[in-house]
Amino acid sequence: MSPVRRAATPRGVLHRIGRLPDPLAWPPHELVGGGRFDDPQGEFRVLYAGQRRACFLETLAAFRPSVEALAALEQVTGSQELMPRGVVPADWYQKRAVARLRLGPGQRWLDLRAAETREELRSELAATLLDLGLPDLDLSGVLGPRRRLTRAIARWAYEHDYRGIVYPSRFDDALSLWAIFEGAAFEPEGVPEPIVPDDPDLVATAHLFGLAT
């Protein structure tokens, strides 16, 4: 069996788009369970961070027109030209900031970007895959909508003493994101940055998604 790959702790900082007044605060316990790699048993909380552009991609994707709306318009008009643009709400800027953090050394991070890791998890989580009606485990499963699978991966990682998971962005697999488990060591780096409409990463993401800012 292929060995599970560990990701090296990044030397640089990671970024997180979070709610003010403290973007690096752990989420309230009542909100635990909705994220991709949240613990299905609710034992630990998770902070999601990553490369700066990846954070904007993951966060702003929610403001795109839904595929249902796109399909309905195509059916009625035969064109998507009249589809109104998604809009980043004004209060989104007001309630959030970009924080930076640095992970402590000597911690174990499960690397889902590596094929070796996914092959090992294919064996470890075979019963879960069958229960979900999935014939296999590959990158599409790691990044896809089956949150029961991704949360089972998080639980497996936690029980095997990993402090979090590294995975590619579903919008750009060249960019990496980190699911940081409660108990992992990290330090804030500087003060949170306000998000402004002309932020370069926001502008690039809005252009990709066709959003008005």
Tens digits of residue pLDDT in 84-112: 789 999 999 999 999 999 999 999 999 99
Q: What is the pTM of this model?
A: 0.92
Strands 211-212 and 86-87: parallel
Q: Judge whether 46 and 38 are in contact, CB under 8 Å.
A: yes
Of 160, 148, 193, the closest CA to residue 56 belongs to 193
Tens digits of residue pLDDT in 194-205: 999 999 999 999
Tens digits of residue pLDDT in 25-59: 999 988 888 899 999 999 999 999 999 999 999 99
Helix (H) or strand (E) holding 96: strand 96-103
User: Which residue matches tokens 């895959």?
Assistant: 129
Measured in degrees and rounded to the nearest 5, phi and psi for residue 19 equal: -80, 140
Of 87, 52, 84, the closest CA to residue 192 belongs to 52
